[in-house]
Amino acid sequence: MTTILSRSADHLYWMARQVERAENTARILDVSNRMALLPAMGTNRVEAEGSEWDAVLQITGGAELFYERVPKATPQAVIRFMTLDAENPSSIYSTIRAARENARAERVALTTEMWEALNSTWLELSSLTPARLASRGHRNFFDWIKERSHLFRGAAVATMLRDERYHFLRLGTFMERADNTARILDVKYHILLPDEVEVGSALDYMQWGALLRSVSAYRTYHHAYKETITPAHVAEMLIFNDAFPRSLHSCVNDTLEMLDAIGGPRGAEARRLAGELHARLHFGKIEAVFAHGLHEFLTDFITSNNALGNEIQSAYLVAE
């Protein structure tokens, strides 16, 4: 890396991760909200609902802080905690605020369109109250966050010079997206796995459909698989199908491409780790994943992706 300071790379990388994280938090809340509205079958409604919302806290890493303040994971409490709580570093409010602070630090490196997209999002979000959010409708709010993320990312792709600043911005997007796709899939399959009698039932079908909609893949799934929704095909698409841009395989492909573009001897270990992840996804088979355990596979992927993120941080992003 010769043309960009580590502190600038750090700001751009984390700005992109924080915008992507806000979007994916909205996606996680959306799928949980959709699942909570489905009828309970073979399980107690209260217990099922508690499990769904506790799952949100577990996968976003906010469970410990939440339960220090609130005794029970109700839909209202979790949504408030994960959307507008300024004291929760994982909330949508906090991640957009952090992204905007990083953007302000790199204001001269951003195009006007990028800055305006992110700044206007923050201004509108910071004026929201829980009452206004409720009247707006949670699903409408989640859709709005996704749209604002798409607007910022689209502005970046359409207007940024293809230099190292662009590469670090995109690297942050793909690293965060891979982590969150794995976590969203794990929520459904492991933490929210239905009772044995419900596997293959109408409820199971609706839950997998809700999951696909949460990652904007419902129609894409039916283009790729000309049959009913099955857990194996959903997992295969979200893990191995590199034509789907939110799949783990696609994200790691793009991560490796960005690391190769950045180059430099400092990034050799990061590229090696990304190459190992890429080989695992490029040559992997869904049958082997299910034989070993989908939850175990996803947990291992998240651990490996975090190790890659730590190496990127160490190699490139330590402030000078």
Buried b (16+ CB within 10 A) or exposed e, 113-127: bbbebbbebbeebee
Band of the pLDDT at 187, cuts 50, 70, 90?
Answer: confident
How many structural domains is the chain composed of?
A: 1
Residue with tokens 């994982």: 90
pLDDT mean over 90-104: 97
Q: Is residue 276 a part of any domain in this protein?
A: yes
Task: Give the global pTM.
Answer: 0.90
Helix-helix angle 248-262:231-239, to 10 degrees: 10
Q: What's the mean pLDDT when you consider all of the chain? A: 89
Q: What is the model's pLDDT at position 197?
A: 44
Q: What is the model's pLDDT at position 244?
A: 96
| In the predicted structure, residue 320 carries a pLDDT above the cut 70 | no
Q: Is residue 1 a part of any domain in this protein?
A: no
Helix-helix angle 294-316:164-186, to 10 degrees: 160
pLDDT tens column, 247-286? 999 999 999 999 999 998 899 999 999 999 999 999 999 9
Domain with 301, as residue range(s), is 6-316
Q: Is residue 144 a part of any domain in this protein?
A: yes
Q: What is the model's pLDDT at position 50?
A: 59
| In the predicted structure, residue 164 carries a pLDDT above the cut 80 | yes
* Rounded distance between C-alpha atoms, residue 189 and residue 235, angstroms: 9
Q: Is residue 86 a part of any domain in this protein?
A: yes
Are 83 and 60 in contact by the 8 Å Cβ rule? The answer is no
Q: Is residue 233 a part of any domain in this protein?
A: yes
End-to-end CA distance of the chain: 13
pLDDT mean over 96-110: 96
Q: Is residue 16 a part of any domain in this protein?
A: yes
| In the predicted structure, residue 66 carries a pLDDT above the cut 70 | yes
Band of the pLDDT at 41, cuts 50, 70, 90?
Answer: very low
* Rounded distance between C-alpha atoms, residue 261 and residue 255, angstroms: 10
